[in-house]
């Protein structure tokens, strides 16, 4: 059976308390409320991104469509202006003048139809630009909210990290000078048993696994020398006998 000074065994509980607190802080760091909020915001931004891309694409398509409609109208206007200029100069024959007049009527009808198309495209473009503005505003709001929550997350992390650093310094002081074999066993058990390598023997119960020890195991512990490193037969953790336990055993 391994041995270590009784005082070192009791001091080991302080190390365990610091390690337990460090585990709690690690959990806190992973479960900050801001992290849940960021996950939700990322999902909402991703959902909105599809609408944003679709809306931007539709606006771009309509702008191209409007450019073409405007070009078509401009071509007809230019053709009509040239025909009208030829008529106004009086440099064409009567037959050509009749033909130009007919063409001007046709061009006027064509221009009116194209302007209707142009107006329709403009109205649809205005509607889609309004819709895009609303989607972009919603997206900007979510991005701003995400930036704010990221700041809260970073502040939370910084606070936890500062506490972890302080704990590490305290642990280094607490473990200094402890029996090397005791510390090595503790570290091994802590790695195997979910972070708890040592626990108090509280009456007849192991505070590590919360199990009541059988009388035969208690008798072995009570009869062990004060410097003996005793272990819980149920979970295997180091059982530290504090003053009240030792006194009860002696009685």
Q: What is the pLDDT of residues 152-193, one digit of tens each?
A: 999 999 999 999 999 999 999 999 999 999 999 999 999 999
Q: Which of 36-40, 89-93, 123-127, 225-229 has the lowest mean pLDDT?
A: 89-93
Q: How far apart are CA 148 and CA 42, in angstroms?
A: 13
Residue 92 in this model has a pLDDT that exceeds 90: no
Nearest Cα to Cα of residue 235 among 199, 202, 182, 203: 199
Q: Which residue has the tokens 């696994």?
A: 209
Helix (H) or strand (E) holding 198: strand 198-202
Half-sphere exposure of 26 (CA within 13 A, CB side): 9
Query: Residue range 7-13: average pLDDT?
Result: 97
Tens of pLDDT, residue by residue over 107-159, are: 999 999 999 999 999 999 999 999 999 999 999 999 999 999 999 999 999 99
DSSP H or E stretch at residue 170: helix 94-175
- Cα of 56 vs its chain's centroid, Å: 26
pTM above 0.85, yes or no: no
CA end-to-end span of the chain: 24
Return d(Cα 168, Cα 13) in angstroms, integer: 15
Sequence-distant (6+) residues with CB within 8 A of 67 are: none
- CA 32 to chain CA centroid, nearest Å: 10
What pLDDT shows up at residue 154?
98
């Amino acid at each position: 059976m391994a041995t270590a000074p009784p005082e070192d065994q009791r001091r080991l509980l302080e190390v365990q308390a610091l390690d337990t607190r460090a585990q709690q802080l690690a959990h806190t760091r992973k479960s900050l409320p801001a992290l849940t909020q960021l996950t939700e915001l990322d999902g909402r931004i991703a959902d909105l991104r599809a609408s944003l891309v679709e809306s931007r694409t539709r606006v771009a398509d309509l702008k191209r469509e409007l450019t073409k409609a405007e070009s078509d109208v401009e071509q007809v206007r230019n053709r009509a202006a040239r025909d009208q200029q030829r008529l106004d100069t009086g440099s064409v024959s009567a037959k050509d003048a009749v033909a130009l007049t007919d063409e001007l009527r046709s061009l006027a009808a064509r221009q009116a139809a194209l302007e209707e198309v142009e107006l329709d495209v403009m109205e649809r473009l205005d509607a889609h630009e309004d819709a895009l503005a609303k989607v972009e505003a919603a997206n900007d709001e979510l991005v701003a909210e995400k930036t704010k929550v990221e700041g809260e997350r970073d502040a939370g992390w910084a606070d936890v990290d500062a506490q972890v650093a302080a704990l590490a310094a305290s642990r280094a002081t607490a473990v200094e000078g402890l029996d090397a074999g005791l510390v090595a066993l503790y570290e091994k058990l802590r790695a195997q048993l979910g972070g708890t390598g040592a626990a108090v023997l509280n009456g007849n119960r192991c505070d590590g696994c919360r199990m009541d020890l059988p009388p035969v195991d208690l008798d072995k512990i009570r009869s062990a020398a004060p410097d003996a490193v005793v272990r819980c037969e149920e979970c295997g953790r180091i059982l530290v006998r504090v003053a009240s336990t030792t006194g009860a055993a002696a009685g």
